[in-house]
Amino acid sequence: MKYTFVLIGIWLLSFSGLAQELTSPNQDLKMKFSLNENGTPVYQLTYKNQDVIKPSTLGLELKNDDLSLMNSFEIVDTKTSTFDETWEPVWGEQSEIRNHYNELAVTLNQPQKDRKIIIRFRLFDEGLGFRYEFPEQKNLVYFVIKEEHTQFAMAGDHTAFWIPGDYDTQEYDYTTSKLSEISAEFEGALSHNESQEQFSKTGVQTSLMMKSEDGLYINLHEAALKEYSLMNLNLDEENLVFESWLTPDALGNKGFLQAPTTSPWRTIMVSNDATDILASNMTLNLNEPNVIEDTSYIKPIKYIGVWWEMITGKSAWNYTDDLPSIRIGETDFTKAKPNGRHAANTEHVKEYIDFASEHGFDGVLVEGWNQGWEDWYGHSKDFVFDFVTPYPDFDVEEIHNYAASKNVKMIMHHETSGAIRNYERHMDTAYAFMNKYDYPAVKSGYVGNIIPRGEHHYGQWAINHFLYAVQKAADYNIMVNAHEAVRPTGLRRTYPNLIGNESARGTEFQAFGGNKPNHVTILPFTRLIGGPMDYTPGIFEMDISKLNPGNNSHVNSTLANQLALYVTMYSPLQMAADLPENYMRFPDAFQFIKDVAVDWEESKYLEAEPGQYITVARKAKGTNNWFVGNVNGVTPRTTTIKLDFLEKGKKYIATIYADAEDAHYKTNPQAYKITTKTVTSRTKLKLDSAPAGGFAISIIEKK
Ligand code: NOJ
Ligand code: CA
């Protein structure tokens, strides 16, 4: 393992009032820190001498504390250092990651109470991370956060790509507006979810992407969210100042802390090139190194599932329609009348296993296999699933043996319907059951309001649970893909068995009325900053009424755009989400999904503009093969891409899957053309993308 490590500690004695300065390794970013006349911490950030964050205050308001950690500080110590290390992720967009930053740690004391905090700043070439640290001390041990008051004073009325601030869900379409227009657009930005709670008409979520009038791309997010509540942002629209707004518990408290501890990192990325935001590893680098010793069971997965047919309403998760209420272990399902629409039945699952095996997929996900789906949400039902008891038509043993004989792994599904304690009660037996039947990964889900009532998906209590589920899974050598859990903040570095999250509006919403046509040109700038998304791409039939006549939804994407998602939406877990019969209608296009890799040695972000287009090239790990993806917004576009990332002197066969001339996401989504040509590092390709279209290219070395 290549590992370079430099740590230079410089001890600086400093004086309150004098600004401390920190510069990024490439000198483009400058951060200034000082205390104002009230002893309140203030920081500001510039990029190539342009303001990114104007002077902004820092602090925490504590419950039952007359002083809080807001003011009356004096600087007692500052330390600067430099760090430069290259590390290897277990899986990822690239096989080596450089972690290079300059650091300033400021120790502050409140003389009235004699208590200290440290604010630690890390300045990378692409942005700033900082956090609050609470060292061990006599006068600050247990404390309750009433609110965190971290400000981000924006330097202009930027264009923002935002979703409403919410304590429970991120499953919203993005709205593009000026910062000053957020409150006016807020109502229109809302859509229904089984669990949701907004808190302010100027509240938005992170990762928040912005673009300034003079072309600066700015991104606000957080890294390493653990034992703390999620941060939303609330905007003072008049002054264009964002302030942190944490998620409360059922009683309104925003976090119970015990020193020594730290807050998560607050992150500000900035560049005048949008591709730098996509290429940044800052969020990962601000997380702790991997703690899982044996990572041999952690493997990227390409999978199919008995899933889309339920999401579209073609078939059902539940076994019977005749039981208004069920009790696991007591209800006798062998006496219940089957509804004839239950998809998770042995014969049908075997068809999926056959399909997976024939086309080289690693796994098959099956939802609705276990008892409880008849009354699974909306009833405050705590004992809702036990995660080990199948319906009578799902033969676990037989399916296990059949899958093993076909060299396919089954992927487990644990829907909790927000009954977190119930899941924890059953977790050991549920994971042991997975080990027994050789399930390497679980998709978990948290639909509906959290039980106990009043707790939120993004509060400290639920966040502790989500991590507990991942840590516990590691004890059983299990990989986790959690839906409706808190959005990622780079924890995959520390726990690489966390191979996926949903935590955004995924493909499922294409069957619930549709996503905005430019959705996938925004997600990599927002939700994916924290980590991979189980977006579940690969839909070939855009007219959902063809699957279920009662569902008029339309998938707002061309078929070529669906292919490109396997490259543009990085994930070590990629689903081919459509029905096998739809793939068999377009076997030549399906070939790309079969060929595309899920683990990468290198990634090149060729061009990008949030809301408009993204073009990415990635080199498959352990090969000389590349895959390129382009997703386009609503304006038709022609682009020329240079293949100068290919090895010089080598020849490759490029297979280009592009929108046909008359393709359009609404009127003609399945119009694509496939061309093949020999290419080298000197080749330039001129390609067209339709509205919500794109292209996908496989570039295979000629041997
Ligand atoms: C919501 C998840 O996002 C979806 O993938 C799943 O099928 C349903 N919940 C049922 O668990
Ligand atoms: Ca979901």
For residue 375, the CA-to-ligand 1 centroid distance in Å is 15
pLDDT in tens, 656-683: 999 999 999 999 999 999 999 999 999 9
State the Cα torsion 615-496-434-346 to the nearest 10°: 0
For the chain, give every domain's residue range.
Answer: 3-285, 301-499, 504-573+598-703
Q: Which CATH number fits domain 504-573+598-703: 1.10.357.10, 3.20.20.70, 1.10.10.10, 3.40.50.1820?
A: 3.20.20.70
pLDDT mean over 345-360: 98
**Pocket mutation for ligand 1, best pick of 503, 508, 509, 533 (most atoms within 8 Å of C-beta):** 508
Q: Output the pLDDT for position 18.
A: 74
Architecture of domain 301-499: Alpha-Beta Barrel (3.20)
Regarding the beta carbon of 222 and ligand 1, being less than 6 Å apart is answered no
Regarding the beta carbon of 415 and ligand 1, being less than 6 Å apart is answered yes
Q: Output the pLDDT for position 56.
A: 98
pLDDT mean over 92-109: 98
**Pocket mutation for ligand 1, best pick of 170, 315, 415 (most atoms within 8 Å of C-beta):** 415
Does the annotation mark 37 as catalytic?
Answer: no
pLDDT at 12 over 80: no
| Ligand number nearest to the C-alpha of 487 | 2
For residue 279, the CA-to-ligand 2 centroid distance in Å is 26
CB contact at 8 A, 103 and 123: yes
Residues 6 or more apart in contact with residue 637 via CB below 8 angstroms: 612, 613, 688, 689
Which of 375, 428, 364 lies closest to 402 in space, CA to CA? 364
CA dist., res. 148 & res. 119, Å (int): 14
Mean pLDDT is lowest, of 4-8, 19-23, 528-532, for: 4-8
What single-letter amino acid sits at 6? V
For residue 572, the CA-to-ligand 2 centroid distance in Å is 18
Among 309, 415, 455, 508, the active-site one is 508
pLDDT at 245 over 80: yes
Per-residue pLDDT band at 16 (split at 50, 70, 90)? very low
DSSP 8-state class, residue 445 = E
pLDDT at 525 over 70: yes
Residue 184: phi and psi, rounded to 5, are: -70, -30
Q: Which residue puts its alpha carbon closest to atom 11 of ligand 1?
A: 415
pLDDT in tens, 47-96: 999 999 999 999 999 999 999 999 999 999 999 999 999 999 999 999 99
pLDDT at 2 over 70: no
CA dist., res. 591 & res. 584, Å (int): 10
User: Which ranges of 168-327 does DSSP label H, i.e. alpha helix?
Assistant: 182-185, 274-279, 282-285, 308-311
CB contact at 8 A, 487 and 462: no
CA dist., res. 686 & res. 347, Å (int): 47
Which of 222, 238, 165, 213 lies closest to 51 in space, CA to CA? 213
Please indicate whether the domains covering 3-285 and 504-573+598-703 agree at the CATH topology level: no
Residue 672: phi and psi, rounded to 5, are: -135, 165
For residue 521, the CA-to-ligand 2 centroid distance in Å is 19
In this prediction, what percent of the chain has a pLDDT beyond 90? 97
Atom of ligand 1 nearest to the CA of 417: 11
Could you please report the per-residue DSSP string of 594-640?
Answer: HH--SSEEEEEEEEEETTTEEEEEEEETTSS-EEEEEEE-SS-EEEE
What does the block give as tokens for 447?
Answer: 């639909």
pLDDT in tens, 37-50: 999 999 999 999 99
Regarding the beta carbon of 171 and ligand 1, being less than 6 Å apart is answered no
pLDDT at 459 over 70: yes
What single-letter amino acid sits at 609? E
Q: Does domain 3-285 have CATH number 2.40.50.140?
A: no
Regarding the beta carbon of 76 and ligand 1, being less than 6 Å apart is answered no
In this prediction, what percent of the chain has a pLDDT beyond 70? 98
DSSP 8-state class, residue 263 = P
Regarding the beta carbon of 633 and ligand 1, being less than 6 Å apart is answered no
Could you please report the per-residue DSSP string of 242-309?
Answer: EEEEEPP-TTS---EEESSEEPPEEEEEEESSHHHHHH--HHHHTSPPP--S--TT---EEEEEETHH
pLDDT in tens, 360-410: 999 999 999 999 999 999 899 999 999 999 999 999 999 999 999 999 999
**Pocket mutation for ligand 1, best pick of 447, 534, 539 (most atoms within 8 Å of C-beta):** 447
Residue 700 neighbours by CB distance under 10 Å: 16
For residue 312, the CA-to-ligand 1 centroid distance in Å is 12
pLDDT, the chain, mean:
96
Per-residue pLDDT band at 17 (split at 50, 70, 90)? low
Q: Which residue puts its alpha carbon closest to atom 3 of ligand 1?
A: 483
For residue 510, the CA-to-ligand 2 centroid distance in Å is 12
pLDDT at 637 over 80: yes
